C-alpha cells in the first residue's frame, strides 16, 4: 500500500508525484493495483542474494509495478524508481538521472545490478556492506 508517508519520502529525494497520480495511489484503482503487486514482493530479500534474481526479473511483480507507475502522466523512470525503492529498499535501488549518467542505461538495470552484486560469490556485495 502506498501511503502519504511514502509520497513525502519520495519528495525528500527531490521529486514530486503529480497530484493526479498521488490521489490515484492513495485512494484509487492505481493504488489498489500497485498494492496488489507490492504484496507479491518480499521485503526481506536483498539485491545480490539468491532469492533476488527472480524478484527483479522481467515480468515479475516489481517490474510490473514499476511499469505501471512509469505509465502514469507526469511520472517518469526516476519517480517510479524512487517510489519502488521506498517500498522495497533492499531489493530496488534508486536509479536516478545521476546514476544513469554514471551507470549507463542498460536494459533490465535491476537484474544487471543484481548479477554484479552476486558475482564471485557476492564479493562486491560484501565489500559494499562493510563500507556501509
Band of the pLDDT at 24, cuts 50, 70, 90? very high
SS (H, E, C) the chain: CCCHHHHHHHHCCCCCCCHHHHHHHHHCHHHHHHHHHHCCCCCCCCCCCCCHHHHCCCCCHHHHHHHHHHCCCCCCHHHHHHHHHHHCCCCCCCCCHHHHHHHCCCCCHHHHHHHHHHHHHHHHHHHHHHHC
pLDDT digits (tens, 9 = 90+) for 61-102: 999 999 999 999 999 999 999 999 999 999 999 888 888 887
Does the predicted model carry a pTM greater than 0.85? yes
Amino acid at each position: 500500500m502506498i501511503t502519504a508517508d511514502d509520497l513525502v519520502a519520495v519528495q525528500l529525494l527531490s521529486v514530486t508525484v503529480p497530484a493526479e497520480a498521488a490521489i490515484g495511489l492513495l485512494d484509487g484503482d492505481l493504488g489498489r493495483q500497485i498494492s496488489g503487486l507490492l504484496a507479491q514482493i518480499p521485503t526481506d530479500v536483498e539485491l545480490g542474494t539468491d532469492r533476488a534474481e527472480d524478484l527483479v526479473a522481467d515480468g515479475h511483480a516489481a517490474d510490473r509495478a514499476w511499469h505501471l507507475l512509469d505509465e502514469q502522466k507526469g511520472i517518469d523512470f526516476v519517480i517510479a524508481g524512487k517510489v519502488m525503492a521506498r517500498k522495497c529498499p533492499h531489493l530496488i535501488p534508486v536509479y536516478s538521472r545521476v546514476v544513469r549518467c554514471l551507470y549507463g542505461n542498460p536494459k533490465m538495470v535491476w537484474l544487471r545490478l543484481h548479477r554484479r552484486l552476486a558475482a564471485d560469490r557476492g564479493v562486491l556485495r560484501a565489500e559494499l556492506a562493510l563500507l556501509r
